[in-house]
Amino acid sequence: MQAAAVAFRRVGVARPFRPAQARLFSYSQHKVGEQGTLDYRMHFQDKNGNKISPWHDIPLKSGEHFNCLIEIPKMTKPKMEVAVKEEMNPIAQDVKKGKLRDYHGPIFWNYGMLPQTWEDPNVTHKETNCAGDNDPVDVVEIGSEALPQGAVEPVKVLGVLAMIDDGELDWKVIGIRVADKLASELNDIDDVEAKCPGVISGIREWFRWYKTPDGKPLNAFGFEEKALDKKFALEVIEETHDAWKKLKAGSTEKGKLWIGQ
């Protein structure tokens, strides 16, 4: 991996994104290597220059809303993710058989994760009969603006889809950035269908089909493929946050995950 830092950026200050929500947690990004290479990593530091894990050290909540760490900006193809097995959990591009992974077409929404959550692979969900996928909870942010990789944005949680990928439960929380112009009109999953017709089905079908060009089967969805409401989504977040706390406390086997010292 290249040792030289490529860039720093103070999150919450860069334009054109409006500082509508005060940041309760200040941090900067530290890029190493060139994006599109195996060496690329986006690391995170606190205001004092100390390295932090975006998974473990960024708070789950910002006031009444939830922090979403953007891994993949909308209309891009590289499959970027927080590297849960690497020290300090930087953002990196997913690799399969030694090759960087890209989606076959761009994702139409900002895609990220909720820090301090974990889908426990040791627990089988009673309705879906599937265990967690060993990752933080994913967020599909449906706002109008493309958000930069590494940004942490307070989002309103609106609902959730129970995607089943290769037999594993992989929740997809649907949310919108608090600062988005439409956020005030969206408060629950029914509002999304009313104000943004086709968005829920679009998300469901994109994630159903996106692996098929690689010869993979279609992904499935639990709960009769319905997008579940905000109340249910908040329960999912609470359960996965509790699972994360047990992981960090050492009461759950971590396997190859990096959870700090």
Q: What does the pLDDT look like over 185-229, one tens digit per residue?
A: 999 999 999 999 999 999 999 999 999 998 999 999 999 999 999
CA distance linking residue 218 with residue 215, whole number of Å: 9
63: number of Cβ within 10 Å: 11
Q: What is the pLDDT of residue 26?
A: 85
CA distance linking residue 244 with residue 240, whole number of Å: 6
Task: Please check whether residue 91 is in contact with residue 99, taking contact to mean a CB–CB distance below 8 angstroms.
Answer: no
Domain-located, residue 25: no
pLDDT tens for 155-182 read 999 999 999 999 999 999 999 999 999 9
Domain-located, residue 130: yes
Domain-located, residue 219: yes
What's the pLDDT band for 25 if we cut at 50, 70, 90?
low
| Range(s) of the domain holding residue 129 | 60-81+102-249
> For residue 205, which phi and psi values (nearest 5 degrees)?
-75, -35
Q: What is the pLDDT of residue 261?
A: 73
Q: Mean pLDDT over all residues of the chain?
A: 91
CA distance linking residue 107 with residue 207, whole number of Å: 9
Q: What is the CATH number of the domain that holds 228?
A: 3.90.80.10
CA distance linking residue 22 with residue 172, whole number of Å: 26
Domain-located, residue 94: no
Q: What is the pLDDT of residue 8?
A: 35
pLDDT tens for 81-135 read 999 999 999 999 999 999 999 999 999 999 999 999 999 999 999 999 999 999 9
Domain-located, residue 96: no
Domain-located, residue 244: yes
Half-sphere exposure for 65 (CA within 13 Å, toward CB): 22
Per the structure, how many domains does the chain have?
Answer: 1
Distance of CA 107 to the CA centre of its chain: 13
Asked if the model's pLDDT at residue 24 lies above 60, the reply is no
Domain-located, residue 47: no
Q: What is the pLDDT of residue 76?
A: 98
Domain-located, residue 68: yes
